[in-house]
Structure 1
Amino acid sequence: MPTNLGAPLFKYLRREHATRLLAEGILRVGTLHEYRDVGRYGNRVGDSKEGSKGTMLKVDRLDVMSKDDLPEFVRNSFEVGSGKFTFINSTFLVTEDSPDFYIYSVTKRFSAEAMRNLGYDACVRIDDPASFFRALSHSLRHKGSFQGLHSCIYMPRYTPPDKQHNIHPALIKEPEYEGQQEQRAIWQPASSKPRPVILACRKARNYCSRVD
Structure 2
Amino acid sequence: MYKYLSEKYFQEIMDYGSIKIGTLYDFRRQEHLDGIRDEEEGVKELFKNYDGKHTIEGGPSGRDLMGAISVGAGATLAFEDVSLVNKVSSPDLFVFCLSSRCSKDVMSEFDGAEKCYEVVNVRNFFKRITASLGTVVPVRFRGVFPCKYGLRREEWNGVDYGLDPALMKGPDYSGQFEVRAIWEPRVEAEIEPQIFEARSLRKYVKEVYV
CA–CA separation in structure 2 for the residues paired with 1:191 and 1:203: 30
What residue in structure 2 maps to residue 182 of structure 1? 178
State the TM-score, normalized to the length of structure 2: 0.77
Q: What do the CA deviations read for 1:34-79 (whole angstroms, capped 9, x no partner)? A: 1111x21255321111101122369xxx99xx986xxx768727xx
CA–CA separation in structure 1 for the residues paired with 2:21 and 2:67: 37
Residue 11 of structure 1: which of 3, 9, 24 is its match? 3
Residue 195 of structure 1: which of 192, 197, 205 is its match? 192
CA–CA separation in structure 2 for the residues paired with 1:180 and 1:97: 23
RMSD of aligned Cα (Å)? 3.0
Residue 157 of structure 1: which of 138, 152, 155 is its match? 152
Q: What do the CA deviations read for 1:107-153 (whole angstroms, capped 9, x no partner)? A: 11112122122111111111111111111111112322211111111
1:52 aligns with 2:43: yes
Residue 166 of structure 1: which of 162, 165, 173 is its match? 162
Match runs of 1:108-187 below 5 Å: 108-119=100-111, 120-142=113-135, 143=137, 144-161=139-156, 166-187=162-183
What residue in structure 1 maps to residue 31 of structure 2? 40
Decide whether the 8 Å contact of 2:109 with 2:176 is kept in 1: no
Distance 1:171 1:74, change over 3 A: closer
CA–CA separation in structure 1 for the residues paired with 2:140 and 2:68: 37
CA–CA separation in structure 1 for the residues paired with 2:163 and 2:156: 14
Q: 1 or 2, which has the higher helix percentage?
A: 1
Unaligned runs of 5+ in 2: 56-64, 71-80
Deviation at 1:162, TM superposition (A): 6.4
Match runs of 1:23-38 below 5 Å: 23-37=15-29
SS in 1 for 2:192: coil
What is the aligned residue count?
A: 189
Q: Calculate percent identity across the aligned residue pairs.
A: 27
Deviation at 1:106, TM superposition (A): 0.7
Decide whether the 8 Å contact of 2:2 with 2:102 is kept in 1: yes
CA–CA separation in structure 2 for the residues paired with 1:67 and 1:184: 40
Q: 1 or 2, which has the higher strand percentage?
A: 2
SS in 1 for 2:140: strand
Deviation at 1:165, TM superposition (A): 6.2
Decide whether the 8 Å contact of 1:28 with 1:198 is kept in 2: yes
State the TM-score, normalized to the length of structure 1: 0.76
CA–CA separation in structure 2 for the residues paired with 1:125 and 1:74: 41
Distance 1:157 1:26, change over 3 A: same
Which segments of structure 1 move beyond 3 Å, counting only runs of 4 or more? 72-75, 160-165
Instruction: Single out whichever of 110-119 and 162-171 deviates more from structure 2.
Output: 162-171
